[in-house]
């Protein structure tokens, strides 16, 4: 198996804002949680947020944090919520159990509601169900005073309409959350920033033929950029083809640095501070 390339410089205090560490793909590839966290620590990653996509993975994310928080000096956080792919699984009973977890958010280290949103690319749940479940969880986030992790693909129009409506009614928080793996237009990215959103960048930014993501980045000010891996998916260059892991988030920072004419250390510094504000850790 090809070895992952490690970042040559000594970096510190890196925050991977989005990594599905409970995903079975790690185990299938012989990667234990201890290994993943050791690799993360050796790349300078000291904080990771583990997002959920349904009730089962919400429990799995909380359990991963309970078991491994602090391993190799890496601090772990998580989110709970139902992804648009899984919108059909949402029910009043599921919501009840999510709320039970949210009530214990400090103890369970839950820092956001997500991933929630709309995905018309895969259409794995009917669109009207996706919209209803998205609205419901945006409401939950507002009522429980928590940021969201937004997943949106090929559904920008409907998603932004829902957000605009809430923004107008004053039912969107001052820090509404993060647009993770942002794929909308640069104009919509600017509008999201205006509403208070952070914008998450990951592997696709480093892909050679991707012109779109760099054009989104150009429209996002320094104080709203966060970096993520979406592990075990979306592995950045130069490790594309291998299972993604939080250690690779430094390559995303490296790419942002080269696009902005800054040093990687500077980008790490500002993205970590942004992530701390996003997940309300400072
Ligand atoms: Zn994800």
Residue 3 lies in a domain: no
CATH number of 135's domain: 3.20.20.140
CA of 51 to the centre of ligand 1 (A): 7
CA of 17 to the centre of ligand 1 (A): 10
Q: What is the residue range of 163's domain? A: 14-278
Residue 5 lies in a domain: no
1, pLDDT greater than 70: no
The pLDDT score that the predictor gives to residue 3 is 87
- Per-residue pLDDT of 73-99, as tens digits, reads 999 999 999 999 999 999 999 999 999
Answer yes or no: are the C-beta atoms of 260 and 220 closer than 8 Å.
no
In angstroms, what CA-CA distances link 261 with 6, 218, 257, 270?
22, 12, 6, 14
Residue 2 lies in a domain: no
2, pLDDT greater than 90: no
Q: Which residues surround ligand 1, an ion (CB under 5 A)?
A: 230
CA of 230 to the centre of ligand 1 (A): 5
What single-letter DSSP state applies at residue 137?
H
* Structural domains of the chain, count: 1
Average pLDDT, the chain: 97
28, pLDDT greater than 70: yes
Going 54 to 60 to 65 to 71, the CA torsion angle's sign is negative
């Amino acid at each position: 198996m090809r070895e992952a390339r490690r970042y040559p410089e000594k970096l510190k205090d890196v925050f991977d804002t989005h990594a599905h560490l409970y995903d079975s793909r790690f185990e299938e590839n012989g990667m234990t949680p201890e290994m993943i966290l050791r690799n993360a620590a050796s790349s300078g990653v000291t904080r990771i947020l583990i997002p959920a996509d349904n009730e089962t993975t919400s429990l799995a994310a909380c359990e991963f944090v309970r078991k491994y928080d602090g391993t190799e000096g890496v601090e772990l956080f998580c989110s709970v919520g139902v992804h648009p792919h899984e919108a059909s699984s949402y029910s009043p009973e599921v919501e009840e159990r999510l709320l039970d977890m949210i009530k214990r958010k400090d103890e369970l280290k839950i820092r956001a509601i997500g991933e929630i949103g709309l995905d018309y690319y895969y259409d794995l749940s009917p669109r009207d169900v996706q919209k209803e479940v998205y609205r419901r969880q945006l409401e939950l986030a507002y009522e429980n005073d928590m940021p969201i992790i937004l997943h949106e693909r090929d559904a920008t129009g409907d998603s932004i309409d829902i957000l605009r409506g809430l923004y107008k009614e004053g039912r969107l928080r001052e820090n509404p959350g993060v647009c993770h793996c942002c794929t909308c237009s640069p104009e919509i990215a600017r509008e999201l920033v205006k509403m208070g959103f952070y914008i998450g960048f990951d592997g696709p930014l480093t892909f050679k033929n991707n012109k779109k993501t760099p054009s989104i980045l150009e429209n996002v000010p320094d104080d709203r950029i966060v970096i993520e891996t979406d592990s075990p998916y979306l592995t950045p260059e130069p490790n594309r083809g291998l299972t993604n892991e939080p250690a690779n988030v430094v390559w995303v920072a490296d790419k942002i640095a080269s696009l902005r004419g800054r040093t990687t250390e500077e980008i790490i510094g500002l993205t970590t501070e942004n992530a701390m504000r996003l997940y309300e850790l400072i």
